[in-house]
């Protein structure tokens, strides 16, 4: 098959930094249990690898993250993920005397910095992001004057009284969707100020999609279903590659060979949290078809 690859491939620098930090801490403290609060990055293959190294990812369907921290033994090492975290998590961990490390991506911290600056000037913040995503939860925790919207209609339930609110966003959104939402918000808040905080790594991967031939009938987006930047790539691919079936897969095991029958060309896109070796396996497999 002809395999067309959207670049760049592999991890962004924020993901590299987070994974390296976790492995380094585990290596330096072989006799202590290392925990990560939630998924260090949203990729199941990465979580499996950390699991094999004895690093525990704390997740629960019935306990809150606060409760998960409360339940840790006092000699635990706790690492916060690349997405950022609410300040109160750190307060609980400090009260319990846990050893804590922070893998928050500098791009995420930069959005927090901008939000805090605007809050200091008594502005309300409209934060465009995904409900329940840890990055959005961290931003919301900064102040009650930070309001989350995922869709334009979310505005209806919010009490925005500021004539010139500051409008900022999660780093991993689809920029096509963000631009549309900005246009709508400009009509409601003509005096609003906008920051576009889609990070470079996310933007470059979305721009890469436009280098694929528009006639493709099948495109794989390699990434985890929980990854926001993977889901944004799926959206961008669907809106640009009108002829293509766009399928998200975690890794090569999820390729269904019947989808390839009769095709000569296929596209491959990968997210900022997909290991390079995982996407390379997908490409190698398709090259052999
Ligand atoms: S996708 Fe962007 S914000 Fe997220 S970890 Fe990578 S560089 Fe940081």
For the stretch 156-199, pLDDT in tens is 999 999 999 999 999 999 989 999 999 999 999 999 999 999 99
Among 22, 105, 271, residue to substitute to test ligand 1 (most atoms within 8 Å of Cβ)? 105
Classify domain 2-11+201-287 at the CATH topology level.
Cobalt-precorrin-4 Transmethylase; domain 1 (3.40.1010)
pLDDT (average), residues 263-276: 96
Q: How far is the CA of 229 from the centre of ligand 1 (A)?
A: 9
From 89, 270, 117, 83, select the one nearest 195 (Cα to Cα): 117
**Does CATH number 3.40.1010.20 belong to domain 107-198?**
yes
Q: Going by CA atoms, what residue is nearest to atom 4 of ligand 1?
A: 14
Residue 171 beta carbon below 6 angstroms from any ligand 1 atom: yes
Give residue limits of the domains in the chain.
Answer: 2-11+201-287, 13-104, 107-198
Question: Contact 226/198 with Cβ under 8 angstroms?
Answer: no
* Mean pLDDT to the nearest integer, 257-267: 95
Instruction: Indicate if 107-198 has the same CATH topology as 13-104.
Output: no
Q: What per-residue confidence (pLDDT) applies to 94?
A: 96
pLDDT at res. 260: 95
Q: What is the mean pLDDT of residues 250-255?
A: 97
Which residue's CA lies nearest to atom 5 of ligand 1? 14
Distance CA 95, CA 98 (A): 8
Classify domain 13-104 by CATH number.
3.40.50.11270
Stretch 203-212: mean pLDDT, rounded?
A: 97
**pLDDT of the residue at 31:** 94
CA of 163 relative to ligand 1 center, distance in Å: 31
Q: Separation of 263 CA from ligand 1 center, angstroms?
A: 34
């Amino acid at each position: 098959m002809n395999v067309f690859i959207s670049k760049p491939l592999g991890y962004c620098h924020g993901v590299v930094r987070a994974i390296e930090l976790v492995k380094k801490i585990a290596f330096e403290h072989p006799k202590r249990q290392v925990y990560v609060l939630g998924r260090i990055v949203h990729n199941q293959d990465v979580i499996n690898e950390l699991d094999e190294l004895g690093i525990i990812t704390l997740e629960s369907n019935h306990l809150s993250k606060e409760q998960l921290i409360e339940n840790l033994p006092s000699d635990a090492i706790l690492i916060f993920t690349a997405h950022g975290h609410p300040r109160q998590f750190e307060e609980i961990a400090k009260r319990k005397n846990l050893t804590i490390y922070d893998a928050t991506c500098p791009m995420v911290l930069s959005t927090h910095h901008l939000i805090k600056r605007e809050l200091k000037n008594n502005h309300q913040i409209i934060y465009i992001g995904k409900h329940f995503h840890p990055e959005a939860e961290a931003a919301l925790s900064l102040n009650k004057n930070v309001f989350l919207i995922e869709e334009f209609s979310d505005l209806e339930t919010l009490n925005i009284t500021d004539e010139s609110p500051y409008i900022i966003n999660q780093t991993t959104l689809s920029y096509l969707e963000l631009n549309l939402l900005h246009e709508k918000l400009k009509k409601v808040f003509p005096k609003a100020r906008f920051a576009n905080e889609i990070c470079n790594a996310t933007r470059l991967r979305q721009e890469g999609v436009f280098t694929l031939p528009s006639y493709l009938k099948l495109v794989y987006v390699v990434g985890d279903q929980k990854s926001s930047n993977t889901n944004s790539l799926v959206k961008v691919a669907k809106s640009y590659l009108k002829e293509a079936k766009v399928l998200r897969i975690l890794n090569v095991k999820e390729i269904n060979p019947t989808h390839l029958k009769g095709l000569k060309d296929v596209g491959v896109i990968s997210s900022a949290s997909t290991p390079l070796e995982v996407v390379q396996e997908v490409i190698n497999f398709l090259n052999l078809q």
